[in-house]
Structure 1
């Protein structure tokens, strides 16, 4: 890795940071300009190892202060890097539905991650805020993309742990989705997890009751919540600030197959939920046209 000062100078030669796009619990994301050809870009925290291609493209630059980094990992050269960077590096190729890490640099007090960003994009929470809910057929195509992205992550040994509308970008021009924000992620393991990371309202009941969960079963739960949110515009178990487990209510307009896949994902017992592979073979998800 280049010394931090040289890394910062090299980044400033290629990008100009612009306005703040948003914040999460780990860092801030900014808009910016890629100076090589004047293409508009977005900035966020992190640093990069892969060079950005020369064609015009928007990017997001995420800035993560060093003192907010809770989980670290070791690079092949034994240097330390934030776990988020290591996870992104593992999943950044082989699947169009996962955000690509283009490059990252280490600065004295932070890490910068340069990430791809579709030119016209909006996260699904903003889409739902405008439209309330999505027609079932549209939600079916989007959900299939999310499922494929999640299966790619698990095949790479990565558990995202924070699947929700805010962490899914929609390219408004193509309909392509991107799973983003691996700040709560970790490496996949067979044993139960005894520490929670993510959004509490998306946590599975086994965490609430027993403070432990298995990665795939918890992922299936969050996918069920996501799908219900897409087709109804709300959380199935939230009543104000409370989470009340019970019977899931469905609008009459939803097909029985759509209701079935949600019920299976939201089974209270983890062993009753389908695996990711079984879920991909559900009749409701067959014959979906992908962008």
Structure 2
């Protein structure tokens, strides 16, 4: 069943990032390797299409980002210059099942293309929740645990995702595996404060950014995880769109045991939020039914 965590089959091998200088050859090579399918999504980042790898029939996704929208570049281990999203994906996309795998990338004169793994039967978490109105706590616990492990993996690789939300979590319906996707708002993890926010303003913006114009990566991530868990078990965002979160704001929390975890994550003081390790050790995460 989709709610059980099973071992996923190994993803297609990670290909070395490469450039194909002549645009015509690159586009021709793409057509020879992949059959383009339906549009999966479109936004400020560009477009994502379903595709099939012709060599073995494997389903993939192809993300197209206009070069003019690539604001930050970095260096891959082989000193190749690449958009920061690709550099970050190369750091975390190393066979870890909870993060989408980068299979290949191409740089064209006007676009950057990323070929990503895409399970044959999958649904983003937003649609997964919407189809059920809300998730039972046991289902939410298993998916949330996988998200925590994916975030911990990214953190250990020195990567801050900065846009954790249901739309950026893919659920493999065949295995129940959750995968963190879309590192377009990501950056390098640092111990000092950030003074620039990336991500959807209405989604997981921590109050310290709204009130003071700065945030620290780790506690800001915990805030977004609290918002995510609330959406999973309640079926809705904990705050109204455009709402200015005040220090005396009263949260509408679920009746289940997850409410304590959500309350801790959504503490107004970033210093009072738990760490990732503390979240993973929380009694609710361990399925310990306290009175």
TM-score, normalised to structure 2, is 0.87
- Whether contact under 8 Å (2:39, 2:47) holds in the other structure is yes
More off after superposition, 94-103 vs 202-211 = 94-103
- Whether contact under 8 Å (1:8, 1:105) holds in the other structure is no
Distance 2:136 2:78 in 1: 49
- Whether contact under 8 Å (2:207, 2:245) holds in the other structure is no
Counterpart of 1:224? 226
What are the ranges of 5 or more consecutive residues in structure 1 without an aligned counterpart?
40-56
Counterpart of 1:3? 21
After superposition, give the CA deviation of every residue in 1:107-162 in whole Å (9 maximum; x if it has no partner).
11111100001110000111122211000111000000000000000000000000
SS at match of 2:284: helix
Counterpart of 1:173? 174
Deviation at 1:76, TM superposition (A): 4.1
TM-score, normalised to structure 1, is 0.87
Distance 2:163 2:22 in 1: 31
After superposition, give the CA deviation of every residue in 1:188-234 in whole Å (9 maximum; x if it has no partner).
01110000001112100000001100000000000000001100011
Counterpart of 1:43? none
Following superposition of structure 1 onto structure 2, how do residues 25-174 of structure 1 map, counting pairs within 5 Å? 25-37=44-56, 39=57, 57-174=58-175
Following superposition of structure 1 onto structure 2, how do residues 216-255 of structure 1 map, counting pairs within 5 Å? 216-238=218-240, 241-245=242-246, 246-252=249-255, 254-255=256-257
Deviation at 1:94, TM superposition (A): 4.3
Q: Does 1:272 align with 2:291?
A: no
Mark the CA change 1:159 to 1:192 in structure 2 (over 3 Å): closer, same or farther: same
How large is the Cα RMSD of the aligned pairs? Answer: 1.6
Mark the CA change 1:214 to 1:64 in structure 2 (over 3 Å): closer, same or farther: same
Deviation at 1:170, TM superposition (A): 0.6
What are the ranges of 5 or more consecutive residues in structure 2 without an aligned counterpart?
1-18
Distance 1:138 1:175 in 2: 10
Mark the CA change 1:284 to 1:251 in structure 2 (over 3 Å): closer, same or farther: closer
- Whether contact under 8 Å (2:140, 2:233) holds in the other structure is yes
Distance 2:134 2:252 in 1: 15
Distance 1:60 1:94 in 2: 17
Distance 2:43 2:123 in 1: 16
SS at match of 1:193: coil
